[in-house]
């Protein structure tokens, strides 16, 4: 699901808000820990109003607690106020300069905004304070992956899982790593762990369902897709905008065209400028015998170009060849058949890089 996520993923800043290293920071947060734990859960589950309701008295009773400020920063990020979130994260570091987790959470926030150098600096600061800070290791693993250092990324992410097997973020990120290198069985195990630890995590469920589908476990994949649909929020940063696309594509493979079209219609609505949903919907239209609608979607898909779903030109050329043949447009069918024959086919492993 590639770059679709953007700010959406900001809300998955790690739930842990541990005490800082110095006595003053610890004193400033005394008594706040139980409420902060419930706030973290509310943020993970997308219950913004509940989180805010719990945080308001804490802001008054613990104004110098860096952990409280981090929680408010997470809430601001979840609600899309990125400037305020950045200000609050910066303030949290001033209040608790020895808090490795606060540095790590700020690093993840910056990374998900596309600010890689700032994120790398903050991760280094975090790991200088605590070399075993799991939140920082997860972000470092992401950064290494973005740099193409996949072996190092795996090592760091696996270390994070060993250090804290209860971290859903660590399981999720190593699951994504395995998914991207086509090791779906290993990926599925980690996504299962992530959703066990955080049952309402729609994106982890979506990934798990996709892995099961690729492993040939269609019945189980469908159950997990439906679980993801049941947990899907109506909107906001926790909304998984690729779920309808993935489930619609799955249903098409199962030959359930009407159901598939319902979900692919939604996918096109969510991503009007992406190739994948249009391409998949064109295939459904063609299977239904609606060749004009199939042509419109396939032509639009070709015009949109390759995007995060990695539907390549050759795939669209083959589809258009078939559609134009059915429409009796012989010259166009031959033209696209020639393009399909002469266009170099990219490495198909890239087709699985969804996020």
pLDDT tens digits along 181-197: 999 999 999 999 999 99
For residue 114, pLDDT over 70 is answered with yes
- Find out whether 210 and 202 touch, Cβ atoms under 8 Å: no
Give the model's pLDDT for residue 308: 63
Does 237 fall in a domain?
Answer: no
Does 342 fall in a domain?
Answer: yes
- C-alpha 52/C-alpha 65 separation (Å) is 16
Q: What is the mean pLDDT of the chain?
A: 90
pTM of this prediction? 0.86
State the sign of the Cα–Cα–Cα–Cα dihedral 146, 151, 152, 158. Answer: positive
| φ, ψ dihedrals at 258, nearest 5° | -65, -45
- C-alpha 263/C-alpha 50 separation (Å) is 31
- State the residue range of the domain holding 293: 269-355
Does 33 fall in a domain?
Answer: no
Which are the contacts of 259, defined by CB distance < 8 A and separation ≥ 6?
A: 251
Does 300 fall in a domain?
Answer: yes
Does 347 fall in a domain?
Answer: yes
Quickly count: other Cβ atoms within 10 Å of residue 292's Cβ. 10
Give the model's pLDDT for residue 352: 43
Q: Which two tokens stand for residue 303?
A: 């015009």
- C-alpha 14/C-alpha 160 separation (Å) is 13
Percent of the chain at pLDDT above 70?
A: 89
Instruction: Name the strand (E) or helix (H) holding 8.
Output: none
- C-alpha 163/C-alpha 63 separation (Å) is 32
Q: Which two tokens stand for residue 134?
A: 């799991």
- Find out whether 325 and 334 touch, Cβ atoms under 8 Å: no
- Find out whether 5 and 353 touch, Cβ atoms under 8 Å: no
Q: Which two tokens stand for residue 152?
A: 């190092």
Does 245 fall in a domain?
Answer: no
As for how many domains the chain has, the answer is: 1
Does 330 fall in a domain?
Answer: yes
Does 121 fall in a domain?
Answer: no
């Amino acid at each position: 699901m590639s770059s679709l996520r953007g700010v959406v993923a900001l809300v998955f800043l790690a739930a842990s808000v541990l005490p800082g290293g110095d006595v003053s920071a610890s004193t400033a947060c005394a008594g706040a820990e139980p409420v902060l734990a419930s706030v973290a859960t509310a943020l993970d589950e997308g219950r913004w109003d509940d989180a805010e309701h719990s945080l308001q008295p804490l802001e008054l009773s613990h104004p110098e607690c860096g952990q409280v400020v981090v929680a408010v920063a997470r809430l601001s990020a979840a609600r899309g106020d990125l400037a305020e979130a950045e200000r609050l994260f910066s303030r949290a570091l001033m209040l608790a300069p020895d808090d490795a987790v606060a540095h790590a959470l700020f690093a993840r926030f910056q990374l998900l905004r596309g600010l890689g150098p700032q994120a790398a600096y903050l991760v280094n600061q975090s790991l200088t304070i605590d070399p075993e800070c799991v939140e920082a290791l997860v972000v470092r693993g992401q950064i290494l992956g973005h740099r193409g250092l996949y072996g190092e990324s795996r090592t760091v992410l696996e270390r994070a899982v060993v250090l804290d097997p209860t971290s859903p973020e660590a399981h999720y990120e190593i699951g994504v790593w395995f998914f991207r290198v086509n090791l779906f069985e290993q990926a599925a195990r980690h996504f299962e762990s992530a959703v066990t630890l955080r049952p309402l995590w729609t994106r982890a469920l979506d990934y798990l369902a996709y892995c099961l589908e690729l492993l040939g476990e269609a019945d189980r994949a469908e159950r997990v897709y439906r679980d993801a649909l049941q947990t899907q929020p109506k909107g906001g940063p926790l909304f998984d905008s690729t779920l309808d696309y993935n489930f619609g594509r799955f249903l098409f493979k199962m030959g359930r065209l009407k159901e598939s079209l319902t979900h692919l219609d939604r996918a096109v609505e969510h991503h009007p400028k992406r190739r994948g949903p249009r391409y998949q919907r064109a295939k459904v239209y063609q299977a239904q015998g609606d060749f004009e609608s199939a042509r419109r979607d396939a032509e639009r898909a070709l015009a949109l170009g390759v995007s995060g779903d990695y539907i390549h030109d050759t795939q669209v050329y083959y589809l258009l060849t078939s559609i134009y043949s059915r429409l009796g447009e012989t010259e166009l069918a031959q033209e696209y058949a020639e393009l399909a024959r002469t266009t170099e086919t990219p490495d198909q492993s890239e087709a699985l890089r969804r996020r």
